[in-house]
Structure 1
Amino acid sequence: MDDTLFTIGGHGVTWAQALGGAVALFVLLVILLRRRGAREAARHDEEIAHRLSEMARAQAEMTGRMQSMAEVFANRHSDLARALTERLDGFGHRLNQSMTSQARATHDSLTRLNERLAVIDTAQKNITELSRDVVGLQEILANKQTRGAFGQGRMEAIVADGLPQGGYDFQATLSNGRRPDCVVRLPNAPCLVIDAKFPLEAFTAYRDAGGPEARKAAAQRLRADVLKHVGDIAERYFIPGETQDTAIMFVPSESVYADLHEHFEDVVQRANRQRIIVVGPSLLMLSIGLVQAILRDHRMREQAHVIHKEVTLLAEDVGRLGDRVGKLKSHHDQAGRDIDQILTSVDKIQKRGAKIEELDFAAEDDQSRAQPRLMAGA
């Protein structure tokens, strides 16, 4: 162990020294390695701590983001809930309005339906009453006396509605002792006779005829009865100077009048040639309206002198009104000229006032004060 192993710088190194140096070197290496390991461990710990802090910061950011997202989700959820509630409320309101309007429309429809049912009920009652009236009318027309009274009543109603009192007479007696159904008084002319006794028996038989032979026989009977009645009217009621040479034969039914003109035109023409005019209710009303116009024109002619006097007085009033308007116009023209003269005077006064305002009195005062000073200096 004491043997010299090698020499360094003239100094011999033994095995013990070499071994001790090796041990020291090993210890030094161990110490260095431990220090390096400690430094690496510290650096590793620092890295871990840094990573942990980064992770903590990332976790905090993630937590903040999660909280923000939670708040956003909460706001969105509240907005969505509010929007859904509003839409549900609006839908409920619209549904309520729709149901209300539908209920109102249904109520209105039911009300109108009830009204129409009431109208239909009333119409049904009217139809029932009309059917009873038709049955009664058939019964009336089946009897000759009642049928004549029916035609007389319709004719009297039309005449009384269209003419004034004194313009007609019912059942008046003529000079020959005959009594027509109605006499219409015309001004300054003979009266007009109206007969309401149309022979309806033959016409009813013509309508009720079943076969062609029966219908032909009923038509011949109808022609004969109508022409006989036309001849009776012309013989009984044509009195020269007392009645017109034209008479009216009244048919109390429009349908009978239409059938007579359609199927028995020859009978109507023969009656016209005998100056007998066959009329229905509508034509009788038209004829009475024409007579009423004639009476109105006659009354106006009777009052023509009164109208002429009133027109003369009206012309005199118009002349006086023209004179007074002329005087008023002259007064108005004179007043206009006076106003023009007043305006001229006012204009002159305004111009003189403007000239007075344009005068410079301050400069004249300065000049008047300057003259005494000049005289004192002299």
Structure 2
Amino acid sequence: MNDLLTLLSAPLGQLGATTITLGHALAGIGAVVLLLFIWLALGLRRMGRARTDAAEDAAHAAREAQARLVELTRVQSEMQGRMATIAEVFGSRQNELNKAISERLDAMTGRLGQTMTEQTKSTHESLAKLQERLAVIDTAQGNIQTLAGQVVQLQHILSNKQTRGAFGQSRMEAIVADGLPSGAYEFQATLSNGNRPDCLVRMPNGAPALVVDAKFPLEAWNAIRAAAESEGPEGQKTAAQAFRRDIEVHIKAIAEKYLINGETQETAFMFVPSESIFAEIHENFEALVQRAHRARIVIVSPSLLMLSIQVIQSVLKDARMREQAHLIQGEVIRLMEDVGRLDERVRKLQGHFAMTQRDVEQILTSTEKVTKRGQRIEALEFGMEQAGGISADAETTPQEVRSPTGSLRLRVVDGDD
């Protein structure tokens, strides 16, 4: 025991002024161990409480989780019901939508087929019309080719002076022959001076004839056209001077050869066979037109010649009307006499109609009297007391007829009643 106390009292170290012994160390260690034990107990207690709280929390959480699970199950059931309802609704709606889409597709297919049919029909009709138009175009192209050949022939004709003169003269003759009667004109007639104009139109009432000349210097005109296409201003000027000179010579020749006092009119026609040449002369060669007017020569185109021929035709008709005026007057007088006789006969016929009307009225009066007598006879009443015939009583008045029994009396009305 003493050894133990001694051992416990043995110093282990010096801490400041205090000497630390083994007992002190063991006491400190015991205190530390006790503190550790207390700390561990407290920790275990806390841990127990924590576990209890955790268990309670877990139980509470489990209860809440179970409640939530029940609620979730209920919601899931409701959701499943709603989903089933929605699926059913969607199914019916999808069926309706499919049906509507199918109907619309069928209708659209029908309309598309009809449209395609109509479009095909329209296309066939358009193609048929196009073929017809192409046929017309082919025909027109053939006509154009034929016309082109005729134009080439016309160009060949116009390139020759003799044939060109025949072309202008034939055109002038066609216009005159279409507008006037056969005895009102003469082609290539011989005048008193021996000259022969292309046409001589005979005027009415012994008036002098009208001369129409169909010659035209077309070479100079073609030279102007050629100079305008290939040559310069000097060439055009030279060609214009040559054309003006040829026209002046031609105007002078017509005035000297065909204007004869008392035999022909004081004015003659110079026929230009083209409207374009006529317009070009009046537009660019005004001096030639004035010179022709002074020489009493009128430059005419085909349209102006046709108009002049129509005026002459009207004058001829008026002259013929005046020549036949006395015949017309006699016919009118005889016509008035016929009208007078017709009026007299109509008046007689009217008198016959009046007499016939009076006779008809008298006939209607007689028929009315007969009808009235028939109605009176129909209204009589016959007695049925005794059978027997009806006879006239000799002693009765002329206006009464009685039956043998006297049961029936018939009164005869006078014809004037």
Pairwise TM-score range, normalised by the shorter structure? 0.5 to 0.7
AA aligned opposite 2:233: P
The one-letter code matched in structure 2 to 1:154 is R
2:159 to 120, 125, 142: 142
Counterpart for residue 353 of structure 2: 332
Unpaired runs of at least 5, structure 2: 1-91, 384-405, 408-417
Deviation (angstroms), 1:232: 1.1
- For residues 156 and 353 of structure 1, what CA distance do their matches in structure 2 show? 91
Matching residue of 2:324: 303
Compute the displacement of 1:119 (Å). 2.0
Question: Post-superposition shift, 1:355?
Answer: 6.5
Aligned equivalent of 1:204, options 218, 222, 228: 222
1:295 and 1:235 mapped to 2: Cα distance?
28
Larger Rg: 2
- Report the alpha carbon displacement of residue 153 of structure 1 after superposing the two structures with TM: 1.4
Structure with higher RCO (Cα < 8 A, 6+ apart): 1
Deviation for aligned residue 1:296: 2.7
Q: Which residue of 1 aligns with 2:261?
A: 240
Greater helix fraction, Structure 1 or Structure 2 = 1
| Match 2:273 to one of 248, 252, 255 | 252
- When residues 325 and 93 of structure 1 are mapped into structure 2, their CA distance, relative to the original with a 3 A threshold, is farther
> Which residue identity is paired with 1:143?
N
Query: Superposed, which structure 2 residues align to 1:1-378 within 5 Å?
Result: 88=106, 97-187=114-204, 188-209=206-227, 210-348=231-369
Letter in 2 for 1:132: G
The 3 A distance-change label for structure 1 pair 315 and 87 is farther
Name the residue aligned to 1:40.
none
Measure how far apart 1:354 and its partner are: 6.0
Q: Matches of 1:158 and 1:181 in 2, distance apart?
A: 13
| CA distance in structure 2 between the aligned counterparts of 1:97 and 1:317, rounded to whole angstroms | 75
Corresponding letter in the other structure for 2:356? A
Amino acid at match of 2:284: H
Post-superposition offset of 1:113: 1.0
The corresponding residue for 1:56 is: none
TM-score by length of 2: 0.61
Q: CA deviation at 1:312?
A: 2.6
**What is the rounded CA distance, in whole Å, between the counterparts of 1:329 and 1:86 in structure 2?**
84
Structure 1 position 237, deviation (Å): 0.4
SS of match in other structure, 2:189: coil
Q: Could you tell me how far apart the structure 1 residues matched to 2:117 and 2:354 are?
A: 74
Instruction: Supply the RMSD in Å over aligned alpha carbons.
Output: 3.3
Corresponding residue SS for 1:260? helix
- Cα offset for 1:197? 0.8
Separation in 2 of the partners of 1:110 and 1:248? 55
Please give the alpha-carbon distance, in whole angstroms, between the structure 2 residues aligned to 1:137 and 1:219: 24
Amino acid at match of 1:155: M
TM-score (norm 1): 0.66
Amino acid at match of 1:249: M
User: Which moves more between the two structures, 187-196 or 156-165?
Assistant: 156-165
1:50 is matched with which residue? none
Aligned residue type for 2:201: V
Q: 1:303 to 1:97 in 2, by over 3 A?
A: farther
- 1:276 is displaced (CA, Å) by 1.0
Amino acid paired to 2:345: R
Q: 1 CA distance for matches of 2:359 and 2:284?
A: 90
Deviation for aligned residue 1:278: 0.7
Q: Which moved more, 1:186-195 or 1:134-143?
A: 134-143
1:319 is displaced (CA, Å) by: 1.4
* Deviations, residues 292-344 of structure 1 (Å, cap 9, x unaligned): 22233333333334333332322222111111111111111122222233334
Amino acid at match of 1:248: F
- What SS does structure 1 have at the residue aligned with 2:194? coil
Post-superposition offset of 1:114: 1.2
Q: Could you list the per-position Cα deviations for residues 107-157 of structure 1 after superposition, in whole angstroms to 9, with x for gaps in the alignment?
A: 211111112212222222233333333333333223222221211111112
Amino acid at match of 2:309: I
How many residues are treated as equivalent by the alignment?
A: 288
CA distance in 2, matches of 1:178, 1:186: 19
Deviation at 1:93, TM superposition (A): 6.3
| DSSP-derived class of the 1:180 partner | coil
Q: Is the alpha carbon distance of 1:302 and 1:352 closer, same or farther for their aligned partners in structure 2, counting shifts above 3 Å? A: same
Percent identity, aligned pairs only, is 61
Q: What CA deviation, in whole Å up to 9, does each residue of 1:62-118 have, x standing for no partner?
A: xxxxxxxxxxx9xxx9xx89xx89995x77765554444322221211111112212
Aligned partners of 1:342 and 1:124: how far apart in 2? Answer: 84
Name the SS of the counterpart of 1:178 in structure 2.
coil
Separation in 2, partners of 1:100, 1:322: 75
Q: Distance in 2 between matches of 1:126 and 1:347?
A: 86
In structure 2, the CA distance between the partners of 1:302 and 1:93, relative to structure 1 (3 Å rule), is farther
Cα distance per residue 1:210-244 (max 9 Å; x no partner): 32222223222222221221111111001122111
